Amino acid sequence: MNTAEDLVVQRIDQLIGIIKAKVLLEVPKNRKINLAHDLVLCMCEQIKAGIWKLIDAGNKRIDRGVNSLLVQVIEQVKEHRGHPYFLEDEIAFCDEFIEAVEAIKAEYMKLKKEDKTCKRLIIMQVV
- The burial class, CB within 10 Å (0-12 / 13-18 / 19+), for 40 is buried
**Separation CA 107–CA 66 (nearest Å):** 12
Residue 108 near residue 2, CB atoms below 8 Å: no
pLDDT at 1 over 50: no
Q: What is the pLDDT of residues 6-40, one digit of tens each?
A: 878 888 888 888 877 776 666 555 555 577 888 88
Residue 96 near residue 81, CB atoms below 8 Å: no
**Separation CA 75–CA 69 (nearest Å):** 10
Residue 26 near residue 96, CB atoms below 8 Å: no
**Separation CA 105–CA 116 (nearest Å):** 17
Q: What is the pLDDT of residues 83-117, one digit of tens each?
A: 888 878 888 888 988 999 998 888 888 888 887 77
Instruction: Answer with the residue of higher pLDDT: 108 or 120.
Output: 108
**Separation CA 3–CA 13 (nearest Å):** 15
Taking the complete model, does pTM exceed 0.85, yes or no? no
pLDDT of residue 29: 58
